[in-house]
Amino acid sequence: MYDLGIIGAGPAGYAAAIRASQKGLSVILFEKNFVGGTCLNRGCIPTKTILHCCKLYTELKNSAKFGIEAANINFNFEKIQERQRNISEKIRKSLTNLIKSYNITIVEEEAEIEAKNLIKTKSSNYEVKNIIIAIGSKPNKIKFNGNYNDSFILTSDDILNMNKLPTSILIAGSGAIGVEWARILSSLGVKVCIIEMMDKLIPTADNEVSERVARIFKKNRIEFYTSTTIESIEEKKVILSNGKIIEPDNILQAVGRLPEKVTGRLSKEIEVAKYIKINNNYQTNISNIYAIGDINGKSMLAHSAMKQAEDLIDYITTNRIKEFDKDKVPAVIYGTPEIAYIGKTEQELTGKGIKYKKSFFPIAALGKAYAEDKIEGFIKILANDNEILGAHIISEEASAMIEQIAIAMENKISPKEIENVIFAHPTYSEGIHESILALDNLAIHIPNNK
């Protein structure tokens, strides 16, 4: 009998397996598709690989301003796609070897929960003391009114399998997936239109972030409509709720993800309300069965899944509960410039009547930004005297800068304490220092407008 049986080898599952082995537990890990889950094989890693190719292509096209003469710049989309597949494969092999180095048994079959201590596959049954469900999620695919071929509608999985670019595309949804693919496709010359049913782009973001992204999209000729949905589709004619008619080559659905379905005889007894219901220690209504990652709906991000995995294994081995705090989970939307945020938005704070101070520091005030011609964006900090309540960044290296805020928030480091930190110059990170100083009108590189 194994101490732990884990179903799903994505970020939640493999992180739980490794941490459990480090803690001395015997572990068996089940994966019906590929080790690494959506993030490695159909999400984070492939899209970031493509985004880097697009960034390099764009910078080469604009290299003359840096004194670099590059003629006849072009791209080969098939090779870009081949690269992202190769990168995923290399990391997948490395990850598999990493998991095996911890003496974790990997079973490459679909697993079903047959009983409280029994996991079943086609070829065998496995007895386990505890079960972790970490089967992740899949793209949400909506059925629209009208008459059209199913191949007209793409998901984020489908688009990674394309070897030929469409001439034009309509993207439904402006969350991370929609925005990143809008940036990818637009940079490669595809005519992009985004529709968003909410009243702003990136609905979870602070209003000032959404407004700046709208400005950037206009500059990059990415068409978008908010408070808009698809009314119907006739072949390739898309009728929008605002009365506009668009005829794209394809529609990319980027309207969120749905949890995968747990299977097996005992699965019917696990409480589900869209997502698997859990308590504060990720326990389902069956005491020795737990659920982490996308499947529990707390935060559908790879880094959230890994954090939940670490905390759950800590609970299983020490009985110590670490409550998951969604406010301390950073979110990043990649591309140029990067978009990153953590904690409360200004709208949430005002809506709840929470007192706060606000700073707004333009990236254009940083010397490094000018040196690299990356002056678009800002850093916005929301705080009180004791702690940072939220941070919202649009900038080159925003994904790195948001981590500095995450460390401060997790460790309850006050703005005053951050003021005493010496930040290297020239860096983008010194914008964090300036933003903290600006909470008390003490920023060095913001003009005195009094």
- Give catalytic residues, as residue numbers: 425
3-class DSSP string for the chain: CEEEEEECCCHHHHHHHHHHHHCCCCEEEECCCCCCHHHHHHCHHHHHHHHHHHHHHHHHHCHHHHCCCCCCCCCCHHHHHHHHHHHHHHHHHHHHHHHHHCCCEEECCCCEEEECCEEECCCCEEEEEEEEECCCEEECCCCCCEECCHHHEECHHHHCCCCCCCCEEEEECCCHHHHHHHHHHHHCCCEEEEEECCCCCCCCCCHHHHHHHHHHHHHCCCEEEECCCEEEEECCEEEECCCCEECCCEEEECCCEEECCCCCHHHHHCCEECEECCCCCCECCCCCEEECHHHHCCCCCHHHHHHHHHHHHHHHHHCCCCCCCHHHCCEEECCCCEEEEEECCHHHHHHCCCCCEEEEEEHHHCHHHHHCCCCCCEEEEEECCCCEEEEEEEECCHHHHHHHHHHHHHCCCCHHHHHCCCCCCCCCCHHHHHHHHHCCCCCCCCCCCC
87 and 46 Cβ atoms separated by less than 8 Å: yes
149 and 207 Cβ atoms separated by less than 8 Å: no
Amino acid (one-letter) located at 271: E
Q: Return the closest-CA partner of residue 274 out of 246, 296, 244, 249.
A: 296
